[in-house]
Amino acid sequence: MYNSNYVTAIVAAAGMGKRMKKAINKQFLTIKDKPILAHTLNKIEKCDYIDFIIILIKQSDINYVGQILNEYGLKKPFKIVYGGEERQDSIAHGLKNMPEETNIVITHDGARPFVSVEKINEVIEKVFLTGAATLANPVKDTIKISSNGDVVDYTPNRSVLWAVQTPQAFLIDVIKKAYKQAFDEGYYGTDDCSLVEKTGSKVKLILSDYNNIKITTPEDLIIAEAINELHEEE
């Protein structure tokens, strides 16, 4: 709980992970013999502000998740919820299954195991500034815009570009309004913050670090092993 506000964390682990090119969901692949999802849930568990955890999964993955929970466990109360066709549909299912007393909700990718507890805390602490907050980093690479994927249309100013991560935190009324408007008007966003932005609300950027990667491709697994080694040495 944060300042008497009940906090629910929604962990999105219902994706297909096609770019990983593996037979199983990427969240169940391992980093040093421990499933990625277990690493992620461990970080969420350590956050004192969080009161309740919702784990979004595909129904076909229930046995994998059961094995993870049996081996690594969760001390905080939690609920497993089956996801939908798209990530946005899955988060919507999570929102419908939150405890009624929820005041703040954070959404986090199950495949981001290296977020720090301090940054989870910070995104929750800053949510009251605008009603929504997200971890993000300034973009390091030059970005090109191409409408056809063949030639460059233009190059945006890199100094104003940010790569957004999770967790993202929201006051409950803000995120519910955003999701209702999105489904009423029939559009899908690339993340939860983009839905909030559509309502006219502002999103507070919280400086993150470059270790908070989302594990998506086989190359990311190699990077993840290296990051894990660095964390163990600290």
What is the per-residue pLDDT across 86-140, written as a single tens digit (0 to 9) for each? 999 999 999 999 999 999 999 999 999 999 999 999 999 999 999 999 999 999 9
Q: Distance between CA atoms of 124 and 82, rounded to whole angstroms?
A: 25
Domain residue spans in the chain? 6-227
Domain spanning 6-227: which superfamily?
A: Spore Coat Polysaccharide Biosynthesis Protein SpsA; Chain A (3.90.550.10)
Percent of the chain scoring above 90 in pLDDT: 87
What's the number of CA atoms in the CB half-sphere (13 Å) around residue 148? 4
Mean pLDDT within 34-52:
96
Please tell me the predicted confidence (pLDDT) of residue 230. 80
User: Distance from first CA to last CA of the chain, Å, rounded?
Assistant: 29
What does the pLDDT read at residue 213? Answer: 95
Q: How far is residue 107's CA from residue 116's CA, in Å, rounded to a whole number?
A: 15
Angle subtended by helix axes 117-125 and 36-46, to nearest 10: 50
| 164-197 pLDDT per residue, tens | 999 999 999 999 999 999 999 999 999 999 999 9
| pLDDT score at 205 | 98
- pLDDT (0 to 100) of residue 18: 64
